[in-house]
Amino acid sequence: MSNYFALISACFFAFAVMIAHAQNHHHDETQQNSDASSSAAIASDASGIASSDGGQCGTAETDYAPCLGRERADTLFRHCCQQYAPEGCQSLCTYESDELTARNNLLQSVKAGKCDLKHVSTILYCASQNQDNRKCCDHLGLGDPKLGVGKRCLRFCDPAGEGIGSISRQDVTCLFNWNVINYCSHSGIKLE
């Protein structure tokens, strides 16, 4: 059991280092230099409504622009988390798609001991509203070989189907892209 905690601590130390690095170099990066930055830009710039040119929201043609507005989507997400996730994890129950804000929210919740990583599956199940969002996540680069973890991160986009299971050191890359996972979960909510 102590090896498990040592592994998790090492993962989050690496995660913290990556966030610090990203914050220091955030203004120097351009979309041309990073597919992940392109994904984050798409995620953070989405308006949350169907495109004005008649395209259908939540599809590749609209870069998976969410169908449901952020406020309504966050309400659904929080309601599910209030039922199934521990109180300490509630701050993660929002469709935050800003790259640095999403990472910092996750890091702070885990570092402060408020939310154990074993609850990530529950949080993402609530975020996904039981939808398979792997196509969106793949479209935004979470299956890109450049990440160095194969298609491993795509399971975070279908927690009900594929399942997440345990979190390992390889998953730091996936958690580093928490904003993309959030964006695609938001995108996957269908209008009723």
CA distance linking residue 178 with residue 22, whole number of Å: 14
User: What integer is the mean pLDDT of 28-34?
Assistant: 33
Q: Torsion-angle region of residue 79: left (phi > 0), alpha (psi -120 to 50) or beta?
A: alpha
User: What integer is the mean pLDDT of 54-60?
Assistant: 79
pLDDT at 117 over 60: yes
* Cβ-Cβ contacts under 8 Å for 18 (sequence gap 6 or more): 172, 176
Query: So what's the pLDDT on residue 192?
Result: 66
Query: So what's the pLDDT on residue 15?
Result: 44
Q: Is residue 160 within 8 Å of 128, Cβ to Cβ? A: yes
